[in-house]
Amino acid sequence: MTDTTKDRVVIFDTTLRDGEQSPGATMTHDEKLEIAELLDDMGVDIIEAGFPIASEGDFRAVSEIAERSKNSVICGLARANFNDIDRCYEAVKKAAQPRIHTFIGTSPLHRAIPNLTMDEMAVKIEETVTHARNLCDNVQWSPMDATRTEWDYLCRVVEIAIKAGATTINIPDTVGYTAPRESADLIKRLIETVPGADEVVFATHCHNDLGMATANALAAVEGGARQIECTINGLGERAGNTALEEVVMALKVRGDIMPFETGIDTKKIMHISRRVAAVSGFPVQFNKAIVGKNAFAHESGIHQDGMLKNAETFEIMRPEDVGLSGTSLPLGKHSGRAALRDKLRQLGVDVGDNQLKDIFVRFKDLADRKKEVYDEDILALVTATNTDAISDSLQIVNLKVICGTGGPAEATLEMEIDGKEQTAVSEGDGPVDATFKAVRMLHPNKARLQLYQVHAVTEGTDAQATVTVRLEEDGMIATGQSADTDTVYASAKAYVNALNRLIMRRSKSEGSDAKEVSYKDVN
């Protein structure tokens, strides 16, 4: 069982479930397995691995994560019906520690959706929680939109869920509506008022619509909650969820006023943050707390002077505490494979011999074009290597672009499509537009460009550009990412990577008769 003593806060990560609900953040099967392994290794107590009835792909991912888990409780989500709950248990039952998480919307707005009266919903809660508990000893129940549910009714349904066998009661702020004082008071009053509340764990699940998710989660802990639901980088529906890295480091740094601890190895935070950003296609904003590029940067003169004299002047935690190396010594074109492997290990990246070989080839090519290759460059190479392994239906062979101020840009693109080389020449409003049009000439598609982002990995005119492209076609969303010192080439690679993902997902969809179900705005 998970340690739930009074000074221990359980970390429940829902990056693979709620985090993946962000439009465009859908991960591949292998990426889900990788992130789950990193979460398990980092010390996350409970991993909500997915919504098993949503699709055959989600079921397979949750099942395999359950089988592979070493330390974490593996949880699946289920709506308040027997089919969902049965499917969820089938997915998680092989875990050493399985959990069923079932929910129903209890606020007036959510009760109106299935058109249930208060009494009818109360009966449904009792029946479904009882059914889940008969299958699994570890059952979590959530009254979705709890913070907008009538107080008396919330107490009533929480009591019903406890009597039916729920071992964890999660109180979701589904739309990020509450404030810290309300969050603390709600948990405190429930624990004091509801019979049997002292025998279960209360959890908090906060969304960030008003920018208060972390504050609300920490306030709930002060009110008596001992489980925080969160995601890496705060990924999630709309404005996202409580960020794991923020609550964990807040509890660590401010233990003087919040005497609670977690089981998280904080030195692994930065690595998993970067991996989630890479596989989801959602870059971390520069000024993001804890994991943002500028979180430990000091530019103003007075700040730099203070840092030189005493780092604690302007830093309340050390970069090393979250997995940033104290120094960022660059490698160069004369650096060997052993030096590259050692650098990867320092950055928290463990690769096999074959992957190291691929990364080393890219590293040497980059080192020939750049005087110095920094940590961020190397991490971008790792991401590019992983992305390129997704599919090989479409491959760029050569790209030549002519552009200037005198007229439209022209792109000459050679691609290998299913093993056959083809060439197209296209004009466009700029080099990227011309290149994307050339791709569409060679591989006609109806995919709509939802997102095109360019970020410089490091400083300087020879910096690598990391390009993210998100495409939507027939309801399917795919994100591609690539990095190169040539921004146009990186753009082309990212676009092609996204198309390859769409091809792969379309193929899997056509090969399966499993029906996708909608679960937007869950919790």
Amino acid at 190: L
Q: If residue 3 lies in a helix (H) or strand (E), which one and from where to where?
A: none
Cα 511 from Cα 57, distance rounded (Å): 11
Q: Which stretches within 165-313 are classed as H helix?
A: 180-193, 213-223, 244-253, 269-280, 301-309
Hey, what are 499's tokens?
């198309």
Taking each helix axis from N to C end, the angle separating 82-92 and 56-68, rounded to the nearest 10 degrees, works out to 40
Alpha carbons within 13 A on the beta-carbon side of 36: 32
Is 207 annotated as a binding-site member?
yes
The Cα-based distances of 466 to 288, 334, 488, 491 in angstroms read: 18, 24, 11, 8
* Largest Cα span, the chain: 77
Contacts of 64 (CB under 8 A, 6+ apart): 29, 33
Radius of gyration of the chain (CA): 24
DSSP state of 284: P
DSSP state of 207: B
Do the beta carbons of residue 169 and residue 198 sit within 8 Å? no
Which residue reads 């000091």 in tokens?
A: 298
3-state secondary structure of 49: strand
Is 334 annotated as a binding-site member?
no
Is 445 annotated as a binding-site member?
no
Is 81 annotated as a binding-site member?
no
Binding residues for Mn(2+): 18, 205, 207, 241
Known binding residues: 18, 205, 207, 241
